[in-house]
């Protein structure tokens, strides 16, 4: 009987998965990766093997209307592909660990209840992350589950970096800056010694630019500060989230426009950012291809905020040795990288235009005082490593 382990990343309308097969005591390989998307509307399963060969690409029954049904559909497909497989464990991406959990944990029912308590801090992601864990508890109660937190990598910040300057008695309830995208940043930090050894132990700013976007300041591979704070609304402009706001704006929405709490939440999480500015799209690819001034303004603001926050984190680090781009926009948009690097040229970033479009790792010139890089992230592998570690197994390394 073959041994397998799964990595799950559950969202509101999708369930991303990665299947790892155990070849020997030391060796694992990716057997498949894919997703169930369109949950609740037009569900569809797609999957490929490690070589990119399509294993599945079919519509699912409309009854796949929530996370529990998606888990059932995935389990059924996995049984059909790997009959008799033994699942050693399942690792989950969980956005928020709250004040209790700074490191990955073996999930119990009690721990799951603790994690539900912090749903208000990440309402866009946390409920769906936890629903997947709940579904596995019901359907595969004997399979150990590991929760890996996007907040965990930032748990070593200094007190002053995580402070929220409100009354002390209020902050005791858990009001502090947490930071997110930690699994992505942890992976980047783990591969920099191989990809970019000259900056791996130095002062590095990593730009995780996707639908959700943030920056992280690293010193010797450890998180010093991040643009995301108490929730995933802070910092940079994102696809549908505004980034940093004057708190008075939120007061104005309540007091002068008389919006309800639910209306404000929906606006901040789903209607703002690139979508709000442009009125066209939350997708950077769409906006870069449009000629409307509103689309151009959204792109301009995205770059402006990123360059501004790079300057702020450079001050926190006391200087910068390297700038790393990752995630969907960071890895795939030479135009956004070019504009951010040019806006950061005062720091000593000298972009190599040809390298920027050629798919190489280093995109700055040899003479650049601050080197710039593109490093693909791999949150699934980071989750797998943590899962293997807590289960006492040999860890996959690539």
What SS3 state is found at 214?
strand
Do the strands 203-209 and 145-149 form a parallel or antiparallel pair, or are they unpaired? unpaired
Query: Which H or E element spans position 207?
Result: strand 203-209
Residue 347 neighbours by CB under 8 Å, 6+ apart: 310, 311, 314, 320, 369, 370
Active-site residue among 27, 72, 150, 246? 150
| Dihedral in degrees, nearest 10, Cα atoms 294, 298, 299, 304 | 130
Is residue 26 within 8 Å of 394, Cβ to Cβ?
yes
- Taking the C-alpha atoms of residue 207 and residue 194, their distance in angstroms, rounded to an integer, is 19
Whether residue 150 lies in the annotated active site: yes
Give 307-359 as a DSSP string. Answer: HHHHHHHHHHHTS-SEEEEEHHHHHH-HHHHHHHHHHTGGGTB-B-HHHHHHT
Give catalytic residues, as residue numbers: 150
């Amino acid at each position: 009987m073959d041994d397998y382990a799964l990595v799950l990343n559950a969202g509101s309308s999708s369930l991303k998965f990665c299947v790892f097969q155990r070849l020997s005591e030391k060796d694992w390989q990716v057997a498949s990766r894919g997703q169930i998307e369109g949950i609740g509307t037009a569900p569809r399963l797609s999957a490929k093997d490690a070589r990119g060969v399509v294993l599945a690409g079919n519509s699912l029954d409309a009854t796949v209307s929530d996370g529990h049904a998606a888990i059932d559909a995935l389990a059924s497909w996995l049984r059909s592909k790997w009959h008799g497989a033994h699942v050693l464990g399942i690792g989950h991406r969980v956005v928020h660990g709250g004040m209790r959990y700074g490191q990955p944990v073996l999930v119990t029912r009690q721990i799951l209840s603790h994690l539900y308590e912090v749903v208000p801090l990440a309402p866009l992601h946390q409920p769906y992350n936890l629903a997947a864990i709940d579904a596995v508890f019901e359907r595969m109660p004997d399979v150990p589950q590991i929760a890996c937190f996007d907040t965990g990598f930032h748990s070593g910040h200094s007190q002053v970096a995580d402070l929220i300057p409100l009354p002390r008695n209020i902050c005791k309830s858990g009001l502090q800056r947490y930071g997110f995208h930690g699994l992505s940043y942890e992976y980047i930090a783990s591969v920099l010694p191989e990809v970019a050894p000259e900056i791996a132990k130095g002062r590095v700013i990593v730009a995780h630019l996707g639908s959700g976007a943030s920056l992280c300041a690293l010193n010797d591979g450890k998180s010093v500060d991040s643009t995301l704070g108490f929730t995933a609304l802070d910092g940079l402009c994102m696809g549908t989230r505004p980034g940093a706001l004057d708190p008075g704006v939120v007061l104005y929405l309540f007091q002068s426009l008389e919006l309800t709490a639910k209306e404000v939440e929906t606006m901040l999480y789903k209607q703002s950012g690139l979508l709000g500015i442009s009125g066209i799209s939350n997708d950077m690819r769409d906006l870069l291809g449009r000629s409307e001034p509103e689309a151009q303004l959204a792109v301009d603001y995205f770059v402006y905020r990123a360059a501004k926050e790079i300057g702020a984190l450079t001050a926190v680090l006391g200087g910068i040795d390297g700038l790393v781009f990752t995630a969907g926009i960071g890895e795939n948009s030479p135009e956004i990288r070019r504009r951010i690097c040019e806006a950061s040229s005062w720091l000593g970033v000298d972009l190599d235009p040809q390298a920027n479009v050629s798919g190489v790792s280093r995109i700055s010139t040899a003479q650049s005082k601050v080197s710039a890089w593109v490093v693909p992230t791999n949150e699934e592998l980071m989750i797998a490593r943590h899962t293997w570690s807590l289960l006492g197994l040999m860890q996959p390394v690539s």
